[in-house]
A and B are shown apart, each in its own frame.
Chain A
Amino acid sequence: MKYDENLDFLTLFERYYLGDMAPEERTGFEARLQSDPDFAAAYASELLVFKSIEMAGQADFLAKMKTIHQEQVPVKKTARIRRLPSAISWAMAAVIAALLAFGLWWSLRPPSPEALYAQFYSIPEFDTNRSGFVPSGQLDQAAGFYKVKDFQAAANVLSDYLTSNEGTAKDSLYLSICWLETGKAAQARDLLQTLSSNASLADQAAWYLALSYLKEGNTAQSSYWLKQISEGTLPATPILKAKASEILKKLG
């Protein structure tokens, strides 16, 4: 017999599941579940159906509980709050609205050149490794000062070193950074401009030129050098190109 298509058995399964059986009938039903595998399999199929209804019912019940919670709990809490006179409430609301509007305007306004400089400027690491070249004590000394941010001392040593040695473009870049850091922007820019024609450091030189102008609020000059990087006029790394484009976009 196919239990799962027989209405009498389906009714029996339903009564057992809902607990609508007298104890003796229930015992008999459970005994048959143990002894008749087809009967047990048919009940298992029907149990899946009952369980799916049960679970959907539980979800419905929990949604109902959430509604009751929202209706009851906020009422208790707001009841504890003393109401302010309406004129004061309106004044406070106006102040809050004004503050929110100011905050929104503040967060959406374009960033100042100084802010962009602070966001993007960082000094390059001093690299003393030179291929086919034995670093001199002077270079190590300059690197030491540079590392502890004593840029004046680093500039002095680097200047002496570059006067008496051939040096590399990198050393000139570090010297220009030292000058930027010690307020000798014009001197630094002259050197950076020379470096901008050096293929290996052109993008770095243009980058620091742009940032030095940005620091002073000279957005025209800054944009000029940033475009040299972003538009590929100078050979530049993808990271630097992206950064230059980002600043240009923020400058509008």
Chain B
Amino acid sequence: MERLTDDQLLQYLNSGETRLQDKALRFLYSEHYGLIEHLVTSNHGTEDDAADVMQNGMLAFFNLAKQPGFRLTSTSKTFLYAICRNQWLMRLRKDKRITTLEDKHEYIPLDDDFSTQLETDERNQALAQLLDQTGPDCKRVLVMFFFYRMRMEQIRKELNFASEQVAKNKKHQCMKRLREIAARQPGLRNFLQ
């Protein structure tokens, strides 16, 4: 597997290209899973717990990395470790009333905003099912554009649309459909408060 520097890693994650994003995610996973497994299994967790923590940590890392202007203030390893450590400690506090961890790597504390973001995400699971109602094609287009931050030209290539304009029209139609579905479920707004 090609080794990536931290700059390359961020560049690939933000490339909006499935192939490069995949390469970055696989590299990050294979490089650091062992460290996270060691952290979790040395602190009251199982290998399955370690896999959960790693996968949620990767998601948090990706969500941060795609924010405009995001810069790593430490190495990607230290940053991912801090995210996973935070997640595991939150779970231990909740499930087992344990409040300290034996660290396996240098630890940088995360700010409170980030911890709050993780908790809020848990409450929003019901929203994910809203998009399913638009059908698989719409789901792919909208997830590619909004979640993976792919450009329309890239979406055109991946989904074999005749032109970029056709891809844009599809996205527009799908958004309209999703708005109509969301409008029929006003109770879901409570999730945003």
Interface residues of A (CB under 8 A from B): 4, 10, 17-20, 44-62, 64-66, 68-69, 72-73, 76
Distance of A195 Cα from B179 Cα, bound (Å): 80
Which of A18, A56, A68, A76 is in CB contact (< 8 Å) with B131?
Answer: A56
Instruction: Encode B158-187 as 1/0 by CB contact (under 8 A) with A.
Output: 000000000000000001001100110000
Instruction: Encode B112-134 as 1/0 by CB contact (under 8 A) with A.
Output: 00000000010011011011100
Known: A44-B192, A53-B142, A60-B143. 6 other contacts (CB 8 A): A48-B127, A57-B147, A58-B59, A61-B58, A61-B62, A62-B59
Known: A45-B179, A55-B128. A65 touches B59 (CB 8 A): yes
Distance of A147 Cα from B124 Cα, bound (Å): 62
Distance of A46 Cα from B189 Cα, bound (Å): 10
Which of A19, A56, A66 is in CB contact (< 8 Å) with B55?
Answer: A66
Closest partner residue, chain A, to B174 (CB atom):
A53
Closest partner residue, chain A, to B28 (CB atom):
A68
Closest partner residue, chain A, to B140 (CB atom):
A60
Tell me if A's interface is mostly helix, strand, loop or mixed: helix
Number of B residues whose C-beta is below 8 Å from A? 41
The winner among A45, A56, A60, A73 for most chain B CB atoms within 10 A is: A56
Residues of chain A with a CB closer than 8 A to B189's CB: 44-45, 48
- When the two chains form their complex, are residues A52 and B178 in contact, meaning their CB atoms are under 8 A apart? yes
The winner among A48, A66, A72, A76 for most chain B CB atoms within 10 A is: A48
- When the two chains form their complex, are residues A53 and B147 in contact, meaning their CB atoms are under 8 A apart? yes
- When the two chains form their complex, are residues A73 and B51 in contact, meaning their CB atoms are under 8 A apart? yes
The winner among A4, A19, A53 for most chain B CB atoms within 10 A is: A53
Closest partner residue, chain A, to B124 (CB atom):
A55
Considering only residues 89-116 of chain B, those with a C-beta below 8 Å from chain A are none
The verdict on B9 contacting chain A, using a C-beta distance below 8 Å, is no
The verdict on B156 contacting chain A, using a C-beta distance below 8 Å, is no
Of all A-B residue pairs in the complex, the 8 with the closest CB atoms, nearest first, are A57-B147, A55-B128, A52-B130, A65-B55, A19-B68, A56-B131, A52-B127, A55-B127
Closest partner residue, chain B, to A76 (CB atom):
B34
Known: A51-B124, A52-B127, A72-B30. A18 touches B146 (CB 8 A): yes
Interface residues of B (CB under 8 A from A): 25-26, 29-30, 33-34, 51, 54-56, 58-59, 62-63, 67-69, 121, 124-125, 127-128, 130-132, 139, 142-143, 146-149, 175, 178-179, 182-183, 188-189, 191-192
- When the two chains form their complex, are residues B191 and A68 in contact, meaning their CB atoms are under 8 A apart? no
Tell me how far the C-beta of B127 lies from the nearest C-beta in chain A, rounded to whole angstroms: 4
- When the two chains form their complex, are residues B125 and A54 in contact, meaning their CB atoms are under 8 A apart? no
Distance of A20 Cα from B145 Cα, bound (Å): 13
Tell me how far the C-beta of B159 lies from the nearest C-beta in chain A, rounded to whole angstroms: 15
- When the two chains form their complex, are residues B25 and A65 in contact, meaning their CB atoms are under 8 A apart? yes
Residues of chain A with a CB closer than 8 A to B125's CB: 55
- When the two chains form their complex, are residues B183 and A61 in contact, meaning their CB atoms are under 8 A apart? no
Tell me how far the C-beta of A186 lies from the nearest C-beta in chain B, rounded to whole angstroms: 60
Distance of A44 Cα from B190 Cα, bound (Å): 11
- When the two chains form their complex, are residues A53 and B143 in contact, meaning their CB atoms are under 8 A apart? yes
- When the two chains form their complex, are residues A56 and B54 in contact, meaning their CB atoms are under 8 A apart? no
- When the two chains form their complex, are residues A68 and B26 in contact, meaning their CB atoms are under 8 A apart? yes
Distance of A57 Cα from B150 Cα, bound (Å): 12
Tell me how far the C-beta of B1 lies from the nearest C-beta in chain A, rounded to whole angstroms: 10
Which of A45, A53, A69 is in CB contact (< 8 Å) with B51?
Answer: A69
Residues of chain B with a CB closer than 8 A to A49's CB: 175, 178-179, 182
- When the two chains form their complex, are residues B58 and A56 in contact, meaning their CB atoms are under 8 A apart? no
- When the two chains form their complex, are residues B67 and A19 in contact, meaning their CB atoms are under 8 A apart? yes
- When the two chains form their complex, are residues B183 and A45 in contact, meaning their CB atoms are under 8 A apart? yes
Distance of A69 Cα from B29 Cα, bound (Å): 8
The winner among A46, A52, A56, A62 for most chain B CB atoms within 10 A is: A52
Residues of chain B with a CB closer than 8 A to A4's CB: 179
Known: A52-B128, A56-B143. A45 touches B182 (CB 8 A): yes
